[in-house]
Structure 1
């Protein structure tokens, strides 16, 4: 399948309502001069911006949709069209020089037509200087120029930029779509089940999978939890022996506590509704069920509340090891 067909299929699967909306906007010639597309990674921001450019430049629009096969569509889908300029972070940020280049492009006439499109990926990664430099275009738009700013975190954008763009909040992927994307990445079913309860971002999951990190975390936290669930104080030793080596960054630590919360919640769900379809740990559920016979709903609820409090302690800058060791003792007592 050609790449341009892939873009069309992907954006229609991920954001069908926005595809229809922008098809009508373009047909009515009511496209705004600047948009801010906000939403998690992997939900179709880049594809939607590219699709809009294809629709604007397509030589063979059919049923208000780009054909995806003409020379214009192919060049846009491969980032080779001179009038569709894409800017991405240079390293960790989008720098002033990149925005200056963009502004110089704003002032030029379109090379092949009367329309120019600018797509700024990860716009929240603009340095303060770059963001302020971009404001002039946002405040004084050039004719026939449309900019698309894409962000995973709208709160990191300058309020002045937000106020001068049309903000479009993209809907998260529905579970079936997200699961299908993870399956395409050949991720194991047990990790998919857990990841679907942690995030809606394929990019985020792929980052967690680097160096087999997520698999190791699942294994370590599983052993720790099952020991604590059995009131076995060897779980206390597991914190230092197995988990701490995987918790090197604040982000790692927060995610590990999220997984701990999932385990505590899983035990409660299996007690109340064992047929729930959004379980996180199919490989460990039978072991958890075996330990539920002598546990009350109130104790399982108390354990879940303790896991939530552990996350709150992390937000108050209590050390991760202290938080998890204290939680281990409390869970062994509760269970």
Structure 2
């Protein structure tokens, strides 16, 4: 059953499956929850289920429609992503124009708008006209991390389906069952919000490289600032890690300092970097609890800056300087 491939989101899957089975489908949904916990995957599964030629309450994953939707080449499933910092009115107008045409192959057209909270007011108002007067067999799915930033009039015309962060233990256990090494499964599960995302992480060569780079960067930061800047430049900024996976790198750095903080506080939490526990113990003389908290807060700021498209080199250098000043 395809909906239940989205591990950890059983409640959302059950709501959608019941709506399909009892023909009570809303014409607009808002999938709301933390980033990367399965909203995008669930939206694709809904699109498949709505257009499956073999089943009525779920996707079969074998018919032509299901396969093509999964591969992103089905003409009646439309995805909208932000252009730069926003979802713009021209994107919504183009979407509405596509909807006005006769369906090419689908029984139901599906419009999926990512980062719906980033719609401009003009775009949201344009979308509102469609939501107030739906045309034919069309279902809109809006994805958001923060539903409170969605225009209230748009929000009121959508059925909200909440998504929760999937416990890392569930993801780790499933990855291990699929043959992933325990340590890699545990780390990937902490980075990911969904099983599908964790699978993508462990498949990437950059992931194992990142685990080594985190250690090199953290130890360089312990020393001279000049050396730390060199390591950041050579190992992160100029590499695939810094160009395509920087958010994950920042998350790994947070896990490094969280390990140190847990040891300092005497917490019995499982360590992400267990093999470096002796190093952590030695560093606690100069890494006080307030300084560790400051380091993690600075990394959280770096993640926000990344989403604002601040250059990676400026983000990382700013973080190193803030830690040194701590």
Judge same fold: TM > 0.5, yes or no. yes
- How far apart are the structure 1 equivalents of 2:273 and 2:82? 39
Q: Could you tell me how far 1:188 is from its partner in structure 2? A: 8.7
Gaps of 5+ in 2: 305-314
C-alpha distance in structure 2 between counterparts of 1:57 and 1:242, whole Å: 51
Q: Does 1:10 align with 2:2?
A: no
Residue 20 of structure 2 aligns with which residue? 26
Determine if contact 1:35/1:165 at 8 Å carries over to the other structure: yes
Name the residue aligned to 1:120: 113
8 Å CA contact 1:190, 1:281 repeated in 2: no
Corresponding residue for residue 200 of structure 1: 193
Structure whose alpha-carbon radius of gyration is higher: 1
Q: Does 317-326 or 36-45 show the bigger shift?
A: 317-326
8 Å CA contact 1:8–1:68 kept in 2: the answer is no
Instruction: Give 3-state SS (helix, strand or coil) of 2:165's partner.
Output: coil
The whole-number CA distance in structure 1 between the counterparts of 2:39 and 2:300 is 32
Counterpart Cα distance in 1 of 2:254 and 2:120? 35
Cα root mean square deviation, aligned = 4.7
Change in CA separation of 1:189 and 1:95 when aligned onto 2, cut-off 3 Å: farther
Mapped partners of 1:29, 1:288: distance in 2: 57
CA contact (8 A) 2:28 2:158 kept: yes
Length, aligned pairs only: 305
2:323 matches 1:324? yes
| Residue equivalent to 1:169 | 162
Structure 1 residues without counterparts, runs of 5 or longer: 229-233, 328-335
Structure 1 stretch 47-56 or stretch 111-120: which is displaced more? 111-120
- Which TM-score applies when normalising by structure 1? 0.66
TM-score, scaled to structure 2: 0.68
Match of 2:52 in 1: 58
Matches within 5 A, 1:1-335: 10-11=5-6, 13-61=7-55, 64-82=57-75, 84-89=76-81, 92=84, 94-111=87-104, 115-124=108-117, 126=119, 128-154=121-147, 157-179=150-172, 196-197=189-190, 200=193, 202=197, 214-215=210-211, 217-224=213-220, 228=222, 234-243=223-232, 246=236, 262-270=255-263, 276-277=269-270, 279-289=271-281, 291=282, 301-307=289-295, 320-327=319-326
Offset of residue 21 of structure 1: 1.6
